[in-house]
Amino acid sequence: MLIRIASAFKKALFPTRCLACGSFFHSAQHRICDLKPRAMDANSSNIAQEFIEKPVLTSAQGNYDLDNIPKVFEKLMAPFLCPTCTSGFLPVESPKCSRCGMVFKSRQGEDHVCGECLDSPKRFKIARSSGIYKYTLMAVIHCFKYKGKIQLARPLGTLLFTAFINFWDTMSIDLIVPVPLHVKKLRMRGFNPSFLLVKDWVRIAEFLHVGFPDIPVDLNILARTRWTEPQTGLGRKERLANIKNAFNISISDGSKITGKRILLVDDVYTTGATVNECTKVLLKGGAGHVDVLTLARAV
């Protein structure tokens, strides 16, 4: 009882600040995750794995409607965003490109292949995303990636998992490969966002009561062997040139990917240059096919 009174008193005196708009609000009474950074080992070979403790999931708001991604986002982000900003999430909905997942401006018609995919066919099979890279989702991703708010890894990872089970048969993927960072960028940032988004999917599936096979997540399949300038602000041609030949297979045992159905995971799909280049390398290494899943899709 005393703990509850103290908690209520603390919330009354110190309201939460919205990560998107900066306004103060009284957050929901539940927490979706508890991610705490721990001291990093300077000699660690995998900075990302050493960066966070094992998270704990709790909820006091019942089951999630996993078919309704905006509602899932609203519930997941209640501790971090004000009610106005949680309503600013834009889901990826049909009609969209059946190949790359681009949302068409017209809200009429059915899914079909977009003009760009017809003119420049992608190497991956399909690409899908949780939401559109605007407004609230863009602000949250920026906090996660650039401001070190790794407490967002669990709710954003849950959002990404929700998109996965909506768009894929869970038995259709053999291996999950996060898009790697260059070692210099990894040291600067301290973690790989794409890896944090998928590393706990098995635990998330248990929390959501979803049947999910223990699909391996391998951060060491691909390596970013060439430093590239940030893709932000570059046009399509510049992005393609910037990312060309930036990735290699980093394992000696090719059987790990031979014939495998791979899910390539990244945070944002803009022009598709990065995931297409990664797909090229994976297919050359013997992968059966590659699908792409990102947290957000630029339009």
What pLDDT does residue 64 have?
A: 82
| Distance from the first to the final alpha carbon of the chain | 49
Comparing CA positions, the residue from 233, 253, 246, 237 lying closest to residue 274 is 246
Alpha helices by DSSP H, 78-214: 83-86, 115-119, 135-146, 153-167, 183-189, 193-198, 201-208
DSSP class of residue 103 equals B
- Per-10-residue mean pLDDT for the chain, 299 residues long? 53 77 78 39 37 42 80 95 95 96 93 96 97 97 96 97 97 98 93 97 94 95 86 72 90 90 97 96 97 96
- Distance CA(220)–CA(236), nearest Å, equals 28
What pLDDT does residue 231 have?
A: 67
DSSP class of residue 37 equals B
Strands 175-178 and 261-269: parallel
What pLDDT does residue 53 have?
A: 39
- Angle, helices 153-167 vs 201-208, to 10°: value is 70
What pLDDT does residue 236 have?
A: 72
DSSP class of residue 244 equals T
Q: In the structure encoding, which two tokens stand for residue 96, read together?
A: 């969209």
What pLDDT does residue 226 have?
A: 87
Q: In the structure encoding, which two tokens stand for residue 9, read together?
A: 């008193």
What pLDDT does residue 38 have?
A: 34
- Distance CA(52)–CA(105), nearest Å, equals 40
